[in-house]
Each structure stands twice: as C-alpha cells, then as structure tokens.
Structure 1
Amino acid sequence: METEDDALRHLRLAGVIRLGLGGGRGPNDAYVFDPHRLALPSWAFALGEAGPPALLVTLDRHLDTVVPAHPEAVPDRSAGVRALDEHARYALDVRNYDHLLAAMEAGLVGDALLVARARPRGAFAGETYVDTRGRAHRLVVVPTVDRAAEAWNHPAPGDAVREVLEGAERVLLDVDLDCFTSLSDADPTTVLPWPKGIIREFLLPEGSEPFWDAVLEKTVALTLAREPHHCGGLLASGELFRDVAEVLFRELLRTGLP
C-alpha cells in the first residue's frame, strides 16, 4: 500500500502532469492540469510540509478569490497532499474560483499577486483576507503584466508589488490558459483565444525583465491550468496551449517545450 511518503516522491494525482524543467531559469518543476482547483494539491506537493507559505503570483482572466463554501473545513497543509487533493476534487467549487483562498486557509499561500482582469460574482473584494485561523493575507491585484512591471520598476504611492515580492522567501507561479483569451463583443458567450504575438506582448512587455527576474529567482514551481471550457473548447484550447507554451517556456523560462 502506498504511503504519503511514496506520494510525495512520485506525484500520483489523477489529471496532474508533472514536468521537469531543466537548463532554463526559474522553477525546476511544472504541474499541468485542466481544472484549476487541482492547483491546491500541486502546490502542496511542490512546497511540502516544511517552510513558510509561499507568495502566489498568478496570471488569470478571472480573479479567483471567491471564499470557499466551508473555509474552516479546508485541511491544513500538515494533513498531506492526499487530503488536499481529495478536498480540491470533492469539496471545492467545480467552477474553479475558490482554490486560491482555500490555499491560504491550508497555509500553503501567504500573500498573492494577482494579474487578472475579470471579477467573478462573489469574489472577495478586499485588500486583505483573514482566514479562519486568523492569519492575514495581502491580495495585490493588477490587470496586466505591464502594470505589475511598472509597479516593480517605479513604485507609486500605494503600489505593493515590490513589497510583497521582496518579502517572499518562495514563489509559486500560476498560469491559467484563459488569461490569454477575451470574450467576443459580438457574442459574450464566445471565447476568443489570442494570437501568439498578443500573448508575447502581454506576457513579456517592454521593461518587464526586472520584474520577471525578481519573480523567477524565488519561484519553486509553475502550475498551468488548461481549463478548455474557458478557452473555446478542446481544439481551440489545444492550439492556444501550443502558442502560450512557446512564449512561456521558450522565451520566459528559457527552457524546452513540455
């Protein structure tokens, strides 16, 4: 019978693909899955039970800060990867928008830097989330990488990007594929994947290199959610993944394609 230690040595979570990243910059491992809530056990696996919570830097179309229905029921990270995996699959919302605050409840994530443009109904709107254990978590929200880089390079009064990054010991870099999509003005139910050139402009805008250096020097893992239902379907999301991977892995992380 496989023990928790075995699970920590060999990631065996249904639907989660672990990738080894070598020869580039930033993290050594990436975790790819479809439903974004599977980030919860992936973060637990990447961080282990020791060490302080990580700063989460997440790129998403949606601000996934809806409070879990039962935040007090989220297992602590000390319960192990399996407990958090089970909670993510069977207790978190299938709409995949409450895993971020669940990770704070679990003690995996401390503060969060959220690059996101849309706020789902019910999303927590404050600048500080206090979890059910009494711990405070800063939520720093910017709409684009360009804005995050500007706040890093030339902080204005009230900007907290540099503050949370400099205060972090470890970073989890999280990317939702739907970050690189927009809703059609003609039909709000139609999702429009971005072409590669626009992906590159968003992810690697001019002047963003110092910001990315600060993020990647502390990043211990990359998580990548594909969420095809938010990206135009299976075929469209597959093509989008290919284009995003070219920019994300080759140009940002300077490593090979997965």
Structure 2
Amino acid sequence: MKKRKRVKTKMIEFRNPYHIEPPGALREILSHPANETEVIELAVFQEHRYAFFYWNKWVRKNEGNNPPCLISLDWHQDLCYPCETERKWLDNLDLESDAEVSLFSWAKLNGLNDGHILSAAYLNLIGDIYVHCRQELGQNTWKDEELIDTYGNSHAIKKFKTYEALQDALLNSSETSVFFDIDLDFFSVKNGLSDGSFEFTYLQEEEIRKMLNKDNPLINWIFKRIKGFTIATEPEHCGGLLRSNKFLDLISEIYFSPELFAPKCNWKWKPKY
C-alpha cells in the first residue's frame, strides 16, 4: 500500500509577533479601581476561550507570585478537563509568545468555549476557581473538585448556585488576588440555546445593578484584589447581538465614564486620564 505523504504545516508569519491578540478582541488599560499604585487591563471578546490568552498575558507580569484565583459569572460551568491530547498541546505551548498563545486560543482550545478555565489551571495561569453558574448538569456536578496541574500544584474548583454562597465563600477565604470574569449570558435565567427551547428570560436590570454595584460587599472585595477583568459577550447565548450589547452597555454604564473604549475612559469614581 502506498504511504501517505506527510505535509508539514508552516507556522503563520506574523507582522509583529509581540503584539498579537485574539481575533476581534478589545483591550482597555485602566487605573486600578481600589488603589493608586496599579493599573489593570480589561478585555472584551465574543469567544469566551480567548480569556485564556489574557490570563496568560497578565500572569506573566505577576513576577513569580502565585497566580490570581478566578471568579467567573457564567450561565455555563465551562469546566471541561483537558484530555490527554490537549494536555500534550498545552505542555508544548510557548507561553512567552503572544502570537502562539493567540493562535492556540483561537484554533486549538475547544470551540464550544468550555475548556479554557481548566486548561489555564493546568498551566498554573490561574489559582483556585470560583464559578457562579446556572447550568444544571446533575447534583454531583456541584461538588468541589480538584485539579493537579502540570507542575504538581493543586487547584480547588468550586461551583455556586447562588450569589450569596459565592460571596460567603470568598469573603471568608484567604485569596489575595483575582481575575474577574463575566460571560454576559450569565444574565439570562432561562437560556433557550442551552435547553433547545430557544426561549430566553433575563434578570431584571435593577437586580444586575445591585449585584455589580461597587459597594456590594463581594464586588468591593473583588475590586480590592483585581488583577485583570475579562468579559465574554457570546451573543448567541444571550439571545442575540442586541441583547448581548445591552448587557455590555449596562456594565459600561455602571462602572465607566465616559463609556468603555471611549477616549479617556476610566472608572466612574476615579480621575479621568
């Protein structure tokens, strides 16, 4: 039998491999919301897996400290473990190369956007994981889990059905730094794309404002420790592009002045640049 000829894939040559970001992503540099000595970055993108790129980018600046814990608000759990093949890919990934990590986030992380969190934990890009979600996968899936990363570190994986349970866990924890992550589909209650009904219901705006208010004990706690802020818009899981944009606009209105990505944007309670 004739052997197939192997075709060697040529790596994409980037115009500037040191300043590559995932497709369609936007990044804002902001003063720290709670102190005067730091700046942080906020990144917005459609595909939730692109958060992997930013967590890696930000943890590289962490100067050898333990990685921040992850606090994620998401309708879905997004907690699929990397399989053996994916672990091999992750072990061979050059984390110093923005070009390679950006391409990996786009082309090799799971396109269902449910593998980025534990892939990041596997490489110790994030610490312990706290997810407040609505997705019901069975009673046993709400139990705490543990992931041992490629370096032998342990990562706790904690899931919460209620905002109050998340708040109680974090306010009583010893966490000192945080990556804050919001998937805008979190603000849907009945998610028709996930259950096949294609019907959606949503949290009321007043409830969202109360939840995200900077004086809310949990948000105040997060903002004192935040090292990076990621927002996934995922419009198809929000019930449409306009609905997704409405939630993004609401976050922008709650936190920023002028609006997010406008010139001189900063936190409402901080001086403008």
TMscore range, shorter length = 0.7 to 0.9
Report how far residue 48 of structure 1 moved: 1.6
Contact 1:68 1:102 in 2 (8 A): yes
1:219 alignment partner, one of 216, 226, 237: 226
Q: Equivalent residue for 1:141?
A: 159
What is the DSSP-based 3-state SS (H/G/I as helix, E as strand, rest coil) of the residue aligned with 2:22?
Answer: coil
Report how far residue 125 of structure 1 moved: 5.6
Letter paired with 1:143: K
Q: Equivalent residue for 2:82?
A: 68
CA 1:202–1:234: 2 relative to 1, 3 Å: same
Q: Equivalent residue for 1:157?
A: none
Report how far residue 254 of structure 1 moved: 4.0
Q: Equivalent residue for 1:83?
A: 100
Q: Equivalent residue for 2:203?
A: 194
User: Which runs of no fewer than 5 residues in structure 1 stay unpaired?
Assistant: 152-159
1:203-253 CA-partner distances (Å, limit 9, x unpaired):
349xx7333332211211100000001001112212222123323547xx6
Q: Considering only CA atoms, is the larger Rg found in Structure 1 or Structure 2?
A: 2
Query: Which stretch shows the higher mean deviation, 94-103 or 13-22?
Result: 13-22
Contact 2:123 2:149 in 1 (8 A): no
Name the CA distance, whole Å, in 1 between partners of 2:31 and 2:49: 26
Contact 2:82 2:118 in 1 (8 A): yes
Query: Which stretch shows the higher mean deviation, 97-106 or 66-75?
Result: 66-75
CA RMSD after TM alignment: 3.3
What is the DSSP-based 3-state SS (H/G/I as helix, E as strand, rest coil) of the residue aligned with 1:67?
Answer: coil
Name the CA distance, whole Å, in 1 between partners of 2:184 and 2:117: 16
Report how far residue 163 of structure 1 moved: 5.3
CA 1:248–1:183: 2 relative to 1, 3 Å: farther
Q: Equivalent residue for 1:113?
A: 130
User: Which runs of no fewer than 5 residues in structure 2 stay unpaired?
Assistant: 1-13, 258-266
* In the alignment, structure 1 residue 15 sits paired with structure 2 residue 27: no
CA 1:77–1:59: 2 relative to 1, 3 Å: farther
* In the alignment, structure 1 residue 31 sits paired with structure 2 residue 43: yes
Contact 1:144 1:202 in 2 (8 A): no
1:129 alignment partner, one of 121, 142, 147: 147
1:123-163 CA-partner distances (Å, limit 9, x unpaired):
796421223443210112222333222x1xxxxxxxx5345
Name the CA distance, whole Å, in 2 between partners of 1:58 and 1:77: 26
Contact 1:146 1:202 in 2 (8 A): no
Report how far residue 175 of structure 1 moved: 0.7
Contact 2:132 2:162 in 1 (8 A): yes
1:210 alignment partner, one of 202, 207, 217: 217
CA 1:120–1:41: 2 relative to 1, 3 Å: farther
1:93 alignment partner, one of 101, 110, 115: 110
TM-score by length of 2: 0.74
Report how far residue 20 of structure 1 moved: 2.3
Name the CA distance, whole Å, in 2 between partners of 1:198 and 1:30: 23
What is the DSSP-based 3-state SS (H/G/I as helix, E as strand, rest coil) of the residue aligned with 1:134?
Answer: coil
Pairs within 5 Å for 1:44-59: 44-48=56-60, 50-51=63-64, 52-59=66-73
Contact 1:60 1:177 in 2 (8 A): yes
TM-score by length of 1: 0.77
Contact 1:72 1:132 in 2 (8 A): no
What is the DSSP-based 3-state SS (H/G/I as helix, E as strand, rest coil) of the residue aligned with 1:178?
Answer: helix
